[in-house]
Amino acid sequence: MNIQEYHAKALLAQYGVTVSKGVAVQSENEFDQALSQFPDDDIIVVKSQILAGGRGKGVFKNGFQGGVKLTRSKREAKRVAEKMLGNTLVTPQTGPAGRKVRTLYFTHAENIAHEYYLAILMDREAAKPVIIASSEGGVDIEEVATNSPEKITKVHVDPTRGLQPYQARQIAFGLGFSGSAFAGMLKSLEGLYQVFWDKDASLVEINPLVLTREGTVVALDAKIGFDDNALFRHPEIAALRDLNEEDEKEVEASKHNLSYISLDGNIACLVNGAGLAMSTMDIIKYFGGEPANFLDVGGGADTEQVTAAFKIILSDPKVKGILVNIFGGIMKCDTIARGIIAAARSVEITVPLVVRLEGTHVELGQELLARSGLSLVSADSLADAAEKIVNLVREDSS
């Protein structure tokens, strides 16, 4: 789960990381009150709050250029804000559909001397958090990594010991800090690592982290992602979830404890177990199809969950076929069968459905389906099932 920049900055501030003063607004009638909190001669940046990067270079569908704008006066800030709020911003990261801007953040403009890049994430191979820093901030870090990898410093942190002072110094030196700014950088690093660790973050990315002309180190942008599986430990973070920016179907799935991820293809998969879900998607692709989603109903799903899973799948207009692939272990095949039948009673299944059941209570499951009168195609192996659904979808669309 990702949170908006203004929430991320509030969290960073709690950890002693310096961020610019700012105020978030959700409607036009809050503009004046929000702007009155800045000194009259202040230079204000208006920032669109969406969960995608590249906002600075983004373009609104109404033609307005830039989702992050430096303004010269409060009047201009207000005019810019009117152009942004409620409109759809397209950036290199949003895809062509863009994202509707529902929140704006007014913030003090810093006097930037230099922009740095800083990120903390989990290095799965090393099984340790890694801090990635570069003196080339504000730009595409992928580009720096490709063209000048020597400008990137990586430091692994031993999770049992935490960030050591010598490691923080190594990063600050590596970025060329000295004097009082050096101490500011150490303090920022310490706070950033602590947020990452305490809140079970999967990513803390500050691009840019800046050195101001006054010699302070300030986080100008903040992207924080959290491990969904650890959110139950952080209700205060879970409360920051922005449902407007999440796939409706994913939100609905999480209410039913289903692991669901929308994909771009047209063959929906309903599977139990993440490994089986991955191989089901692979084999659909092998036969020339494209999965519409990843849906793992888990080991112990009940009829209600299976019904919910079906409804979520069927609410997706791009779905042209469904493949149910269940290996009955803890999850019994008859439970799945009952779920399919219950779902078919409440929502009409208008696309081809291929079902492959195997394992515990398989005969009962198949018998229930056969007696239900539902029009579906049974398959007896994963390959058989994948090939059948790919062909059915192809026939339908030709």
Which residues in this chain contact ligand ADP in the complex, by CB under 6 A?
20, 45, 53-56, 68, 107, 109-110, 112, 115, 138, 207-208, 220-221
3-state secondary structure of 375: coil
Q: Which of 330, 320, 322 is nearest to 298 (CA)?
A: 330
**Whole-angstrom Cα distance, residue 346 to residue 69?**
49
Stretch that binds Mg ion, among 118-126, 167-175, 193-201, 215-223 (CB under 5 A): 215-223
Q: In angstroms, give the least distance from the CB of 111 to ligand ADP.
A: 8
| AA identity, residue 278 | M
Residue recorded with tokens 């935490």 = 162
Distance from first CA to last CA of the chain, Å, rounded? Answer: 39
Establish whether the linkage from the previous residue to 208 is cis, with ω within 30° of 0. Answer: yes
Q: In angstroms, give the least distance from the CB of 237 to ligand ADP.
A: 21
Q: Which does 133 bind (CB under 5 to 8 A by kind): Mg ion, ligand ADP, none?
A: none
- Of 93 and 366, the one with the shorter C-beta distance to ligand ADP is 93
- Tell me which of 117, 136, 260, 387 is the catalytic residue: 117
Buried b (16+ CB within 10 A) or exposed e, 275-294: ebbebbbebbeebebbbbbb
Q: Which does 220 bind (CB under 5 to 8 A by kind): ligand ADP, Mg ion, none?
A: ligand ADP
Catalytic site includes residue 387 = no
Determine if 221 is a binding residue for Mg ion (CB under 5 A). yes
Q: In angstroms, give the least distance from the CB of 122 to ligand ADP.
A: 22
Q: In what order do the strands lie in the sheet with 88-90?
A: 59-60, 88-90, 99-100
Burial (0-12, 13-18, 19+ Cβ within 10 Å), 37: exposed
Which residues have CB under 8 Å from 103's CB, separation 6+?
4, 6, 24, 25, 26, 49
Stretch that binds Mg ion, among 193-201, 214-222, 254-262, 346-354 (CB under 5 A): 214-222
Q: Which does 114 bind (CB under 5 to 8 A by kind): ligand ADP, Mg ion, none?
A: none
Burial (0-12, 13-18, 19+ Cβ within 10 Å), 235: exposed
Q: Which two tokens stand for residue 75?
A: 């009047």
Q: In angstroms, give the least distance from the CB of 108 to ligand ADP.
A: 6
Contacts with Mg ion: how many residues (CB under 5 A)?
2
- Of 145 and 261, the one with the shorter C-beta distance to Mg ion is 145
Stretch that binds Mg ion, among 73-81, 195-203, 204-212, 255-263 (CB under 5 A): 204-212
- Of 110 and 296, the one with the shorter C-beta distance to ligand ADP is 110
Catalytic site includes residue 117 = yes
Q: Which does 49 bind (CB under 5 to 8 A by kind): Mg ion, ligand ADP, none?
A: none
- Of 202 and 207, the one with the shorter C-beta distance to Mg ion is 207
Q: Which does 45 bind (CB under 5 to 8 A by kind): ligand ADP, Mg ion, none?
A: ligand ADP
- Of 102 and 318, the one with the shorter C-beta distance to ligand ADP is 102
Q: In angstroms, give the least distance from the CB of 56 to Mg ion.
A: 7
- Of 207 and 212, the one with the shorter C-beta distance to Mg ion is 207
Q: In angstroms, give the least distance from the CB of 149 to ligand ADP.
A: 21
- Tell me which of 110, 205, 260, 387 is the catalytic residue: 205
**Whole-angstrom Cα distance, residue 54 to residue 346?**
43
- Of 205 and 334, the one with the shorter C-beta distance to Mg ion is 205
Which residues have CB under 8 Å from 295's CB, separation 6+?
253, 258, 259, 260, 261, 268, 269, 270, 271, 277, 309, 312, 313
Q: Which does 107 bind (CB under 5 to 8 A by kind): Mg ion, ligand ADP, none?
A: ligand ADP
**Whole-angstrom Cα distance, residue 242 to residue 250?**
13
Provide the CB-side half-sphere exposure for 17 (13 A, CA): 27
Query: Are 26 and 50 within 8 A, CB to CB?
Result: no
Q: In angstroms, give the least distance from the CB of 223 to ligand ADP.
A: 8
Determine if 205 is a binding residue for Mg ion (CB under 5 A). no
- Total length of the chain: 398
**Site for Mg ion, rule CB under 5 A:** 207, 221
Active site residues: 117, 205
